[in-house]
Amino acid sequence: MATGHEGVLSGVRVADFSRVLAGPYATMMLADFGADVIKVEPPGGDETRAWAPPVDARGQSTYFGGVNRGKRSLVLDLMLDDDLSTARRLAVEADVVVENFRPGVMARFGLDYETVRTENPSAVYCSVTGFGAGGGAALPGYDLLVQAVGGLMSITGPVDGEPSKVGVALVDVLTGLNAVTGILLALRERDHTGSGQRVEVDLMTSLLSALANQASSTLARRQAPPRLGNAHPSIAPYELFEARDRPLVIAVGNDRQFGSLVETLGCPGLASDARFSSNQLRVHHRSELRALLVARLVERDAHDWVARLKEARVPAGLVNDVAEAFAFAETLGLEPVVELAEGTGESVRSTANPIHLSRTPARYGHPSPDLGSVGASVDWR
């Protein structure tokens, strides 16, 4: 099988029927490591092509561009017999099929797992849904909705304010990562048996799993946790503080760090104070401790405190905006940005893949494709 750029997934063919975020994020991750991804789009394209502004240097929606690099675009109208025939051929020739339609939609077109596997028993077929294919099949899988009904908003936001969503469609991204994991597990199992299987991921259980300690405490205590703003339910001080000029975060995880913190702030006696001598006591007396720390922190600028606390090996950092976050990562040598070459000679900046392999790293081909870049006749590379 001919492929594009070399990578650990070179030779893996992906028929991508997904759109918006969770599915496209997953297939982009596969493309970064060499998979040949054909993105099947309706005549109007993935709806995120129209989610603008902002746009990139090519005038393309940055939302679409951020999760579709390295793919090829094929426009098919599944209501037309010839186009549907092409879609079915792609599915039965693919190693991986990814879709995130409402449950039942792919079956109407003869593109569901049961139909595909009759002709392609080695296919790994990944379905991404909002709430599964059972009782939640009719619910729309919007990230905001899942953040609400999945409990995330109940623990996010100011203590005395309204519940808040996270500032990005985080549940979609988490679900996309789960999809990648499931696909790779199924491909690994196929190496041994030659048989594919169905991979199912959904936004709801992806979120519940990602609630981690908040989920485990709820299950153990049979009581939902309260909203604590920027504080942590089990650690103190571990939250946002105001310095003289701007906020910073201090994340103390043990008694040594706490001793170094109060020493640096010029109030070493707090380490032996009966209210604060252990983490459990600090959590219990959180508000008293916070008031004492803020009284010191407002005496200096945040940059000054971060430098001093770093020297004392106390975890602390500024509250960066997104541009500052990229700049900070670059100062650490993390190389968070890649330049994707365009045929015109220009380049598009994109967020680098966060998975680093020593022998077969991610390799980036082209930016997200123009609509219908494959053309009328499509074939795998």
306-337 per-position pLDDT tens digit: 999 999 999 999 999 999 999 999 999 999 99
Q: Which residues are catalytic?
A: 172
Q: Is residue 223 part of a domain?
A: no
Q: Is residue 215 part of a domain?
A: no
Average the pLDDT over each of 19-23, 138-142, 377-381 and give the range with the smallest value: 377-381
**pLDDT score recorded for residue 39:** 98
**pLDDT score recorded for residue 332:** 95
Q: Label the pairing between strands 238-242 and 247-251.
A: antiparallel
Residue-number span of the structural domain to which 39 is assigned: 13-210
Q: Is residue 46 part of a domain?
A: yes
Task: Indicate the number of domains in the chain.
Answer: 1
Q: Is-contact 301 243, C-beta < 8 A?
A: yes
- The pLDDT of 147-162, averaged and rounded, is 96
Confidence of residue 345 (pLDDT cuts 50, 70, 90): low
Q: Supply the CATH number for residue 25's domain.
A: 3.40.50.10540
- The pLDDT of 280-288, averaged and rounded, is 97
> Which of these, 270, 266, 246, 245, lies nearest to 309 by C-alpha position?
266
**pLDDT score recorded for residue 379:** 78
Sign of the alpha-carbon torsion through 87, 91, 96, 100 = positive
- The pLDDT of 274-278, averaged and rounded, is 96
Q: What does DSSP assign to residue 271?
A: G
Q: Is residue 138 part of a domain?
A: yes
Q: Is residue 262 part of a domain?
A: no
Q: Is residue 125 part of a domain?
A: yes
- The pLDDT of 127-153, averaged and rounded, is 94
Question: Is the pLDDT confidence value at 3 over 70?
Answer: no
- CA 379 → CA 20, 94, 222, 336, 371, distances in Å? 24, 11, 54, 33, 16
Q: Is residue 23 part of a domain?
A: yes
Q: Is residue 159 part of a domain?
A: yes
Question: Is the pLDDT confidence value at 1 over 50?
Answer: no
The torsion region of residue 179 among left (phi > 0), alpha (psi -120 to 50) and beta comes to alpha
Q: Label the pairing between strands 316-318 and 247-251.
A: antiparallel
Encoded tokens for 121 = 């028993």
- The pLDDT of 344-361, averaged and rounded, is 88
pLDDT over 70, % of the chain:
97
Across-strand partners of 40?
Answer: 74
Q: Model confidence over 9-60: pLDDT tens digits?
A: 999 999 999 999 999 999 999 999 999 999 999 999 999 999 999 998 888 9
Query: What is the spatial distance between Cα 260 and Cα 309, in angstroms, rounded to a whole number?
Result: 8
**pLDDT score recorded for residue 181:** 98
How many CA atoms lie within 13 Å of 295's alpha carbon, on the beta-carbon side? Answer: 9
